[in-house]
Chain A
Amino acid sequence: MLALVAFLAPAVWGQAPAPSAPSATAPSAQAVAAPLTDQDLKKIAGPKPEELAKGDPGGTLTGTVNDVVVSDPKKGLTLSDLVNQAGQNRVAINFVWTLITGYLVMFMQAGFALVETGLCRAKNASHTMMMNFMVYGAGMLAYWVMGFALQMGGSAGVGLGGVAPLSGEFTVNILGKPWGLFGTHGFFLTQGGSYDVGIMVLFLFQMVFMDTATTIVTGAAAERWKFAAFIVSTLFLGAITYPLYGNWAWGGGWLSQLGKNYGLGHGYCDFAGSGVVHAVGGVTALAVSMILGPRIGKYTRDGKANAIPGHDIVLVLTGCFILAFGWFGFNPGSTLAASGNGALRIGSIAVSTMLAGMTGSFAAMLYMWIRFGKPDASMSGNGLLAGLVAITAPSGFVNTVGACIIGFAAGVLVCLSVEFVEKILKVDDPVGAISVHGACGLWGVLSVGLFADGTSNYGGSWNNVDGSVTGLFYGDPGQFVAQLMGVATLVGVVFTLSYVFNTLVDVVVGQRVSARSELQGLDLPEMGALGYPEFQLVTTHPSQAAAGL
């Protein structure tokens, strides 16, 4: 009770004095130690109407006792009103924070659209843009119908104040321990009591994350993917594949419980989705690209890769900036809170995010400059994204030095990976999505197990394990093993699911456009209209001209 009184004291006495300049008239701690009653509250007077009528340029008369909601006007202000107001204020802060950061993540779709369209040829601009546009609607539909329920239907306990109905997790017993596989509440956002304000906020935030994963695939499969096949593939990814892994990592599923059940650190930890979002999108992009095969002219008859440059680097780098801006929603927003339970770490998370992006772009630029003699613009952009992808999982657990190292390593990794995918795997990825999101997403997952510094405190525990997430370099090798299991699952299960389903789509619908459509450009055959109808498109790059492109 004393603690409650001390907590409420500033509100009861109106404007709290600044800690460095206590008012002489402010009540001392001993004075407020006496039990507070409803009668005491009646003595508190807010600003008078004549004072308010003069305006409040200093902001000292706005937000006082007058603004506390009273449940019963006859009784006036009571202690329970005050306590309820405090609770609602905290939840309101968290709602607004989560919604606004979710809106930022939604805007990342525009960034992806610009990056991918800019990196493709002008003859496919409308098709590439349209895939990025419709991935939003198709993914959302699948996620609303069932994806959200499968992912978060058993996740009751997240800090939004009102998601208790999400309490159904389908679990099987494996090796004597419960393995959560998928959620069972929340279909159509109505079933299982999910018509709930907190669940709506959670849905919006999780939905835009899922859409980020689905839009990664469109980049790798661009310039040759049949639009109908893209829609079917996206529906499956949004309804099944993404939600399953999301449940295992974030919805209380088996990966998140590796710490509680098997003593592996805090279980698999992926703060904002290097694995759940980016690696899921990246390995699915790899599966689809393998099935589709490379674009006509990408490889010579002896298997040597040709460069097929994109048509607008301005679009690409503008898109990268939009994505970097949206990432301030992606990572800090993943606290799902700005108040309570250590959520003020959002400041540290935001700074780590921007630093990793910076070192990623620097690393990629330097690598390309040293290796090829020029600071390649598109790879610098991809370096920025690589750093951001990599810091996404560890952003909530690492310090700024760790963030810089993670981002720098990602910037080099993305350059190496692009070459590996193109020259060794001979998988055609027009935008580098497999490397940016797949390879660097996996690196981000591993980096949690290395660099988590054990200083975060989100309510004193994570994944039902007390204490702070701590990586190998700070003394917990078990965390690294848990992260390795996440990597194995991403490549072993998520890739396989995507590969098998998209192979079925290839058999039933057909994944690839005809050779004639591909050579003509997909805008007319697939979309019915050119992206740039008033321009005459000509091929200027020597390798493209030689290949008849």
Chain B
Amino acid sequence: MKLAGVIVIVGGWLIATVAALQVASLRGKLAMNVIGIAVVLYGLVGLLNRAHLKTAIWKGGRPH
């Protein structure tokens, strides 16, 4: 789950930059950027952070 989060975050960045720069129109670049940032945030909040919360200390996880 953590690895998936990291992969999605990087994927979102690729959409917002490398893919967006392939689009000719400025509106298209803007849209790709917004989509890319949304994907990044999903990876961060929806996947990576959720994975950390699964083992949160108030649920009996760390600290060691």
Contact = CB atoms under 8 A, between A and B. Distances in A.
A172 B63 CA distance: 43
Interface in A512-540: 512-515, 518
Contact of A488 (B6, B40, B59, B64): B40
A338 B3 CA distance: 48
B56 A293 contact: yes
B63 A512 contact: yes
Which applies to chain B's interface (DSSP): helix, strand, loop or mixed?
helix
Interface string B45-61: 10011001100111101
Nearest to A499: B6
Interface in B1-23: 6, 9-10, 12-14, 16-18, 20-22
A294 interface: yes
A374 B13 CA distance: 41
Contacts of A436: none
Contacts of B12: 488, 492
Interface in B24-62: 26, 29-30, 33-34, 36-37, 40-41, 44-45, 48-49, 52-53, 56-59, 61-62
B40 A477 contact: no
A264 B16 CA distance: 14
A293 B16 contact: no
Which applies to chain A's interface (DSSP): helix, strand, loop or mixed?
helix
A302 B14 CA distance: 37
Contacts of B10: 492-493, 496
Contacts of B48: 290, 499
A427 B56 CA distance: 10
Given A175-B18, A294-B57, A425-B49, A484 B37 contact: yes
A299 B56 contact: yes
B53 to A, nearest CB: 6
Contacts of B20: 481, 485
B52 A512 contact: no
A500 interface: yes
Contacts of B41: 491
A520 to B, nearest CB: 13
A514 B58 contact: no
Interface of B: 6, 9-10, 12-14, 16-18, 20-22, 26, 29-30, 33-34, 36-37, 40-41, 44-45, 48-49, 52-53, 56-59, 61-64
17 contacts: A290-B48, A293-B52, A293-B56, A294-B56, A296-B63, A477-B30, A484-B33, A484-B34, A485-B16, A488-B13, A488-B16, A488-B17, A488-B40, A489-B16, A492-B16, A492-B40, A500-B6
Closest 3 CB pairs of A and B: A492-B13, A488-B16, A484-B33
Interface of A: 174-175, 224, 262, 264, 290-291, 293-294, 296, 299-303, 425-427, 477-478, 480-481, 484-485, 487-489, 491-493, 495-496, 499-500, 510, 512-515, 518
